[in-house]
């Protein structure tokens, strides 16, 4: 339901306030109708929708650090509600061990095309790497990534088996491309061209699947809206049913005291004409064991000790090694509303992680050779990455994190970047890197880098 409303707003140039109210109600309806728990990722999708509406409704403005103050309320007209359509749903309870019914099978196939169409809207926004990671990545984790698991773990209705296989092949091409674009490894032009090619392939696939679904299986394919975007609703039904590990070592991350927040800075910055509440910080692994899947929760309270909201984030590294510190951004609002967070007076942190037997390669030294401030206030850095360890790094991508500090040593910004290795990087070898910081809370005087080779 909420995906339908989101697309309706994008097409009709919405006003932010009315859109926010309607989407909030739709999220509530979605939870009630589907009768299953909404995960953290789905609440992240709520933030994605709000930011996408901001992008559609507001023109670009120069980004600048903002004081932590409340924005004045605006009185905006509420748009009329969109035309109600029946929400697609499985006609039977699906299980990985039994063939799906025709309607659900077609919905999963159509969701591949719907995902590509949705991401194409985002590419047109010209998002920075920071914004891709903060805004688009949660959408990918919520709606795109589960499709691959569904296509692998469920059995389709026999008549659509061939179309299902084609959809799986397209998803296998699409998701790695999406991840590369989110990480800044490919630009908008290259990614857009790849999407155009995939769209042509999905068009052929969906034409065949739709004919089979309608004529042989009696499926009403008009339920899924333009570009079949509403088919993504089925993904939310199927995702909780996917296998799942019972190994205790693979259970959810647990709270740990080994990971300690050394600095944490909440502030606001201007994004598409709107003040965005963000949280940056530095976290150190003070224990003796590597930690992975690190999550940082920040709980904000007012002067009456009322919980205003919770933001969550992850490290700019997949593994936190003992004795090392890593920057993080914890700006995804998973509880409360952004407007309430402006009134915080204190906060508490909660760190979740799981111990890791494997570690990533992080023995690099980085030196910035140039910095530049764009017209949008984003700082871009370029320099040299050197392999300072004893291992040879294979061809691939080295992910980079950067922390910006003011003259007094306080953290004022966190960014990311990459170094693309076109050849093996032997010990002592070097390569060029680029990084960027989109949101700043002061004037940078120095930078600190870390790098991690891809697994």
135 alpha-carbon distance from chain centroid? 5
Q: What is the DSSP string of 277-322?
A: EEEEEEEEE-SSS-EEEEEEEEEEE-TT--EEEEEEEEESSSEE-T
Domain range summary for the chain, segments of one domain joined by +? 2-66+86-241, 254-355, 364-453
What distance in Å separates the CA atoms of residue 122 and residue 105, rounded to the nearest whole number? 27
Top mean pLDDT of 45-49, 323-327, 438-442 is at: 323-327
390 in the Ramachandran plot: left (φ > 0), alpha (ψ -120 to 50) or beta?
Answer: alpha
pTM higher than 0.85, yes or no? no
pLDDT at 117 over 60: yes
Burial (Cβ within 10 Å: 0-12, 13-18, ≥19) of residue 200: exposed
Other CB atoms within 10 Å distance of the CB of residue 310:
21
Average pLDDT for residues 38-49, to the nearest whole number? 41
Is 334:312 a contact under the CB 8 Å cutoff? yes
Which pLDDT tens digit goes with each residue over 150-168?
887 788 888 898 999 889 8
What distance in Å separates the CA atoms of residue 34 and residue 36, rounded to the nearest whole number? 6
pLDDT at 408 over 90: yes
pLDDT band at residue 263, thresholds of 50, 70 and 90? very high
pLDDT band at residue 129, thresholds of 50, 70 and 90? confident
Looking at beta carbons, which pairs linking 176-183 to residues 24 or more positions away fall under 8 Å? 178/119, 178/140, 178/144, 179/140, 181/123, 181/132, 182/129, 182/132, 182/133, 182/136, 182/137, 182/140, 183/129, 183/132, 183/133, 183/397, 183/399, 183/416, 183/418
Residue 427 sits at φ, ψ, to 5 deg, of -55, 130
What distance in Å separates the CA atoms of residue 357 and residue 141, rounded to the nearest whole number? 25
Helix axes 188-215, 102-123, angle to 10 degrees: 160
Residue 392: predicted pLDDT: 95
What distance in Å separates the CA atoms of residue 111 and residue 164, rounded to the nearest whole number? 11
Is 153:242 a contact under the CB 8 Å cutoff? yes
Domain 364-453 in the same topology as domain 254-355: yes
Residue scoring higher pLDDT (22 or 293): 293
CATH superfamily of 254-355: Immunoglobulins (2.60.40.10)
The CATH code of the domain at 364-453 is: 2.60.40
Mean of all residue pLDDT scores within the chain: 75
């Amino acid at each position: 339901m909420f995906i339908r409303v989101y697309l309706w707003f994008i097409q009709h140039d919405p006003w932010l306030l009315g859109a926010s109210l309607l989407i909030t109600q739709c999220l509530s309806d979605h939870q009630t109708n589907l009768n299953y728990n909404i995960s953290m990722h789905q609440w992240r999708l709520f933030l994605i929708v709000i930011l996408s509406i901001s992008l559609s409704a507001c023109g670009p403005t120069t980004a600048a650090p903002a004081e932590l103050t409340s924005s004045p309320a605006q009185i905006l007209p509420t748009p009329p509600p969109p035309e109600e359509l029946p929400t697609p749903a499985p006609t039977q309870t699906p299980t990985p061990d039994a063939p799906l019914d025709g309607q659900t099978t077609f919905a999963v196939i159509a969701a591949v095309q719907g995902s590509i169409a949705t991401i194409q809207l985002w590419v047109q926004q010209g998002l920075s790497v920071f914004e891709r990671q903060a805004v688009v990545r949660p959408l990918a984790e919520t709606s795109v990534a589960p499709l691959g698991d569904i296509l692998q773990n469920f059995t389709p209705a026999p008549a659509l088996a061939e179309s299902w296989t084609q959809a799986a092949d397209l998803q296998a091409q699409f998701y790695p491309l999406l991840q590369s674009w989110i990480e800044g490894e490919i630009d908008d032009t290259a990614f857009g061209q790849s999407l155009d090619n995939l769209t042509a392939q999905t068009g052929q696939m969906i034409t065949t699947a739709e004919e089979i679904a309608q004529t042989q299986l009696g499926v009403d394919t008009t339920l899924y809206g333009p570009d079949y975007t509403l088919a993504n609703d089925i993904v939310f039904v199927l995702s909780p049913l996917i296998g799942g590990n019972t190994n205790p070592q693979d259970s959810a991350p647990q709270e740990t005291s080994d990971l300690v927040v050394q600095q944490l800075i909440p502030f606001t910055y201007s994004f598409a004409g709107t003040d965005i509440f963000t949280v940056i910080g530095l976290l150190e692994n003070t224990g003796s064991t590597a930690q992975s899947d690190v999550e940082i929760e920040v709980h904000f309270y007012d002067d009456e000790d009322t919980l205003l909201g919770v933001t969550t984030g992850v490290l700019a590294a997949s593994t936190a090694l003992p004795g090392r510190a890593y920057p993080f951004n914890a700006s995804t609002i998973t509880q409360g509303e952004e407007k309430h967070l402006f009134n915080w007076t204190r906060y508490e942190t909660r760190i979740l992680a799981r111990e890791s037997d494997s570690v990533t390669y992080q023995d690099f030294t980085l030196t910035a050779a140039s910095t530049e401030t764009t017209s949008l206030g984003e700082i871009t850095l370029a320099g040299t990455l050197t392999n300072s360890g004893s291992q040879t790094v294979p061809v691939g991508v080295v992910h980079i994190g950067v922390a910006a500090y003011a003259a007094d040593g306080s953290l004022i910004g966190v960014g990311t970047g990459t170094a693309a290795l076109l050849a093996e990087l032997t010990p002592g070898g070097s390569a060029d890197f680029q990084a960027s910081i989109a949101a700043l809370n002061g004037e940078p005087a120095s930078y600190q880098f870390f790098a991690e080779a891809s697994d």
